[in-house]
Amino acid sequence: MPRVTQALIIANALAFFMQAAGSGALFTTFALWPVGEQFAPWQVVTYAFLHGSVSHLVFNMFGLYMFGQDLERVWGPRRYLLYYTVSVVSAAVVQLAFAAWSGSPFPTVGASGGVFGLLLAFALYFPQRRVMLLIPPIPMPAWLFATLYGMVELVLGVTGTASGVAHFGHLGGMLGGGLLIWHWRTNGRRRA
């Protein structure tokens, strides 16, 4: 497994175990709180290393492993880490905007924004690669998987279905990642 993908998975797992063993101070300090609550600037990155449950962590790390390793091999470690970070931060910015608009007082945690950015990039770079849904187990090309998943997130976010999930944050990760790829493609292939 490429080194940055491996390091991100290890860092997320360690943060989760520290979070589970702690008194809640780690969560309070590093989760992404709405502006005006307990917000601090570093939270636009640190929230992505905390998770709400073991299943939340496992699904995000599976996505990171599944999509991240091929992208890291294509881009190299520096560009890959830059892309992942931009996806995480853009997910945070969109989630903060949604929280301000909706008046939500709840914090956000999880690497999903970064993983959704990776999903979009994977679909753009490997559009015909087969991806298997877990439930139901249906294989489909990556471009279709990313498109359907993005549409589901948009519908769930707009309708307020599956509350407690940062649907607009997920879309923000895709948006930020997509804008960065567009920037790279329109401004040459400079190495990050």
Q: Is the pTM of this model over 0.85?
A: yes
**Is the pLDDT reported for residue 192 higher than 50?**
no
Q: Name the residue range of residue 38's domain.
A: 3-186
Residue 191 included in any domain = no
Mean pLDDT of 129-151: 88
Residues 6+ away with beta carbon under 8 Å from 180: 82, 83, 86, 87
- State residue 36's pLDDT score: 85
In the chain, how many domains are there?
1
**Residue 189 pLDDT > 60:** no
Contact in structure between 48 and 110 (CB atoms under 8 Å): yes
Looking at residue 96, which CATH number applies to its domain? 1.20.1540.10
